[in-house]
Amino acid sequence: MMPKNLSSDFLNYLAETYQVDEDCERLPSLTDLSKTLGVSVSSLREQMEVGRALGLVEAKPRTGLRRLPYSFTPAVEQSLSYAITIDYEYFLKFADLRRNLEAAYWHQAVNLLTDEDKLVLKSLVDKAWEKLRGTPIQIPQYEHRQLHLTIYKRLDNPFVSGILEAYWEAYEAVGLNLYAGYQYLEEVWTYHQQMVDSICGGDLDAGYQALIDHTDLIRHRVIEAEDGNIMVAQSSGELTSF
């Protein structure tokens, strides 16, 4: 066991009493914790709010205070949301981190996918094409997010999944799911189709190359900010988001 030296008595208590369990663990009331830890209820309440913001605990009227399974996502989302609020450039830097992360974990992730996962990926691609070719045309944002998250879902690494999940929350928060040129979307989903076909066909290197080409489609464009939305300048001069 590593020594616990966290920023609050409440967080120290959570760490010291942690048990690996898929189910949430009921915690004592703040009044009882106050007596156990020798800390005032008001101070513990403030510390508990930090725990809530980090996604470590939840507090509900009927169920009381409960420990949640560890997730890195809430902490990343909180910090990233603040960063993007003060400067949109931070989203671009985070997006670059996410692209490199997906590339680094590609082979490990796809090797862990089950046959059921592969069917889900096929279904997401089919649904995306239905939306793009339907009347009216719909942006397959849900399918876009789920396809990428599904590819990496079997990794037993909460820090990788936390970064990827936080990216998609930020992607939607800055409005990138709302704007896209049709030609660009067709290109993106052609690459997605290649990725999924390669995964299902067992040609993981080809899928990796499709992933890299897909991300290069974004990286090689000029990024600008306009009216609070991050935009991509295409060679034609038309602005669209990625």
- For the segment 41-76, what is each residue's pLDDT rounded down to a tens digit? 999 999 999 999 999 999 888 778 999 999 999 999
Q: What CATH number has the domain spanning 9-67?
A: 1.10.10
**On the CB side of 173, how many CA atoms lie within 13 Å of its CA?**
16
Percentage of residues of the chain with pLDDT beyond 70? 83
- pLDDT bin (cut points 50, 70, 90) of residue 218 is low
Give the angle 122-167-214 at the CA atoms, nearest 5°.
50
Give the integer Cα–Cα distance in Å for 164 and 98: 6
The pLDDT, as a whole number, for residue 192 is 97
- For the segment 172-193, what is each residue's pLDDT rounded down to a tens digit? 887 665 555 788 889 999 999 9
Q: Tokens representing 161?
A: 């999944």
Eight-class DSSP state of 225: E
Give the integer Cα–Cα distance in Å for 77 and 92: 15
pLDDT at 226 > cutoff 50: no
Paired with 230 in beta bridges are 225
- The superfamily (CATH) of domain 88-240 is GntR ligand-binding domain-like (1.20.120.530)
- For the segment 88-118, what is each residue's pLDDT rounded down to a tens digit? 889 989 999 999 999 999 999 999 999 999 9
Residue 48's identity, in one-letter code, is: M
pLDDT at 228 > cutoff 50: no
**Closest of 166, 165, 171, 173 to residue 218, by C-alpha:** 171
The number of beta carbons lying within 10 Å of the beta carbon of residue 37 is: 18
The string of DSSP codes covering 160-209 is HHHHHHHHHHHHHHTTTTT---HHHHHHHHHHHHHHHHHHHHT-HHHHHH
**Closest of 211, 77, 64 to residue 147, by C-alpha:** 211
Cα Rg of the chain (Å, integer): 22
Q: Which one of 20-24, 54-58, 182-186, 229-233 scores highest in mean pLDDT?
A: 54-58
pLDDT at 196 > cutoff 80: yes
The pLDDT, as a whole number, for residue 74 is 96
The pLDDT, as a whole number, for residue 19 is 65
Domain limits, the chain: 9-67, 88-240
**Closest of 145, 210, 193 to residue 171, by C-alpha:** 145
Threshold 0.95, pTM exceeds: no
The pLDDT, as a whole number, for residue 77 is 95
Specify whether the CB–CB gap between 192 and 214 falls below 8 A. yes
Q: Mean pLDDT over all residues of the chain?
A: 85
